[in-house]
Amino acid sequence: MSTSESTPTADIGAQIVLALLDWPVLAFILILCFLLLFRAKIFGLLDRGDISVSWGNGSIQFVNRHAKLTHFGGL
C-alpha cells in the first residue's frame, strides 16, 4: 500500500465537505441568514396586513402572518 492512497474515512470526509459546499445547501444557509438578520423588519412588514402578490389568474394575500391563496386557476 503506498502512502499516496487515501483512507476510506478521508474519502467520506471529503464527500461530506463537497456536499455541504453544493449550491442548494449554500442557498439555504444564505436565505436563513437573510431571514435571521432581517427578522424584525420582515415581521413588521407582514404585520401590516396589506401585502398582496398577484400574477395571471392568482394572488396571495398576507393577513396576520398567514398567507391566503385566492383566484387560482387550476392546472
Q: What would the mean pLDDT of 49-70 be, rounded to a whole number?
A: 74
In this predicted structure, what is the pLDDT of residue 36? Answer: 94
Q: 59: which residues sit within 8 A by CB, 6+ positions away?
A: 52, 53, 69, 70, 71
- Counting other chains too, the contacts that 27-34 makes at CB distance below 8 Å and 24 or more residues apart are none
Instruction: Render pLDDT for 19-48 as a digit per residue (tens, 0 to 9).
Output: 878 888 889 999 999 999 999 998 887 777
Residue 74 has pLDDT above 60, yes or no: no
Q: How distant, in Å, are the alpha carbons of 36, 50, 71, 72, 74 from that of 55?
A: 28, 16, 10, 9, 14
- The domain spans of the chain are 1-37, 39-75
Q: What would the mean pLDDT of 45-62 be, rounded to a whole number?
A: 78
Contact 42, 35 (CB under 8 A): yes
pTM, whole model, 2 decimals? 0.46
